[in-house]
Amino acid sequence: MSKFRKDGGKETPAISTSALPDIVFMLLFFFMVTTTMRETTLFVKITLPQATEVTKLEKKSLVSYIYVGPPMPQYQAQFGSEPRIQLNDKFAQLGELLDFVEAERQARDESERGQIITSLKVDEYTKMGIVTDIKQELRKAAALHINYSARKGRKN
Amino acid sequence: MPRKLPEYNAASLADIAFMLLIFFLVTTTMDIDSGLERRLPQWVDPSEIDETPPIKERNIFVVLVNRDDRLLVEGEPTRIDDLKAKTKEFLTNPLDKDNLPEKTVKEIDFFGPTEILTGSAVISLRNDVGTSYGTYIRVQNELVAAINELRDELAVQKFGKPFNDLDADRQDAIKEIYPQKISEAEPKKIGGK
């Protein structure tokens, strides 16, 4: 019998987990700071186009979103696969845009109403016809400040 | 001497923190919103639109995009890669050509009297109903890139710093020399059905 071997073998001591909460909290704070709340559930599939000259949208509270793209596969039986407009949490027709813009105005403070930016999140492969129609509606609604949403990247 | 309080068990603290963490992972998104900013023109009733523009042909830089995503720039088929160079040529008119825009001399802060394009010089972008949005954004991007590059070149040449690092007054002066004037014309059918 070796001199160093102990019979029976002691149990290995349990790993102390007291630092685990600290690590998890650190992760938690990281995610709380770097992310923003998801506001709407997307019903349409959107691949944003890429651009190099993008600017960041500074004030989130002033931005209202219009989503355009082909419906997600689970909605295609009902809504078809052609690009559709999504406002807030539902599919919308072009005619509802005026009401939408008005509702967005009402939701803001009076002092901020003139500065609302409409962000167009449009799928890359959408035809311009629907986008042009939306732009015309926005002009009618006098929501002139728009932002074509795009990802930063790709040097052409 | 008071008795020591027994330490409470902190093992489940990790579980609570994990639950919070997962909640935030699910409900938040990481994407920052970025994009190309534009101002749409005021709404005018279609019946009131004046069909003959009062702007001279040489002062308009016409970019047409058809439904096959091909470009016609000033009457010539062009690739997207060449668009930036052409735009820059239009905006500077370095050789004072007849078919490029006229210039006027204007007093501008920091620069003194400077030759700039007349106020009516404008880039006009028209697209077809069938143009894909991706191409449209690429064209828009090239146009903005041309203007931004010119501004940067001027800023470095004059102030030794890129445009974005200048203060607001100097930026305004440069913006006056190279304004971002891109007109998204009334929709029109181009090139067949």
A85 by Cβ neighbours in 10 Å (0-12 / 13-18 / 19+) ranks as buried
Residues A32-57 have a mean pLDDT of 83
- Any idea what DSSP says for residue B100? S
Q: How many residues does chain A have?
A: 156
Interface test with B, best of A16, A63, A68, A127 (most B CBs within 10 A): A127
Rounded CA-CA distance B178/A110 in Å is 34
A41 by Cβ neighbours in 10 Å (0-12 / 13-18 / 19+) ranks as exposed
Shortest alpha-carbon distance between residue B146 and chain A (Å): 10
- Residue in B closest to A59 by C-alpha: B33
**pLDDT band of B17, cuts 50, 70, 90:** confident
pLDDT digits (tens, 9 = 90+) for A135-146: 888 888 888 888
CA distances to A54, B67, B74, B130, B193 from B189, rounded to whole Å, are 29, 10, 17, 9, 8
**Secondary structure class of A25 (helix, strand, coil):** helix
Surface of B (24-43) touching A: CB under 8 A: 24-25, 27-30, 32-43
Domain spans of chain B, in order of start: 58-184
Give the pLDDT of residue B192: 44
**pLDDT band of B190, cuts 50, 70, 90:** very low
pLDDT digits (tens, 9 = 90+) for B166-183: 888 888 888 888 888 888
pLDDT digits (tens, 9 = 90+) for A7-24: 566 778 877 777 888 888
Residues B102-131 have a mean pLDDT of 80
User: In this model, does residue B114 exceed pLDDT 50?
Assistant: yes
The Cβ of residue B184 has, within 10 Å, a number of other Cβ atoms equal to 18
**pLDDT band of A151, cuts 50, 70, 90:** confident
Give the pLDDT of residue B186: 64
Contacts of A24 in chain B (CB under 8 A): 14, 17-18, 21
Residues A26-51 have a mean pLDDT of 84
Contacts of B130 in chain A (CB under 8 A): 127-129
- Any idea what DSSP says for residue B144? H
Rounded CA-CA distance B164/B174 in Å is 11
Shortest alpha-carbon distance between residue B78 and chain A (Å): 15
How high is the mean pLDDT of chain B?
81
Surface of B (84-123) touching A: CB under 8 A: none
Interface test with B, best of A23, A26, A31 (most B CBs within 10 A): A31
- The closest CB to that of B35, out of A17, A20, A54, belongs to A54
Rounded CA-CA distance A93/A102 in Å is 15
Q: What is the ipTM of this complex?
A: 0.75
Give the pLDDT of residue A1: 52
Residues A82-110 have a mean pLDDT of 88
User: In this model, does residue A2 exceed pLDDT 70?
Assistant: no
Residues A70-94 have a mean pLDDT of 87
Give the pLDDT of residue B158: 85
User: Is residue A83 within 8 Å of residue A109, measured between CB atoms?
Assistant: no
Buried b / exposed e over A54-73, threshold 16 CB at 10 Å, is beebeeeebbbbbbbbbbee
Give the predicted TM-score (pTM) of the model: 0.77
Residues A95-124 have a mean pLDDT of 88
- Residue in B closest to A41 by C-alpha: B27
SS3 content of chain A, % helix, strand, coil (to 5): 35, 25, 40
Task: Give the CA count within 13 Å in the CB-facing half-sphere of A25.
Answer: 8
How open is the CA angle B68-B193-A150, to the nearest 5 degrees? 40
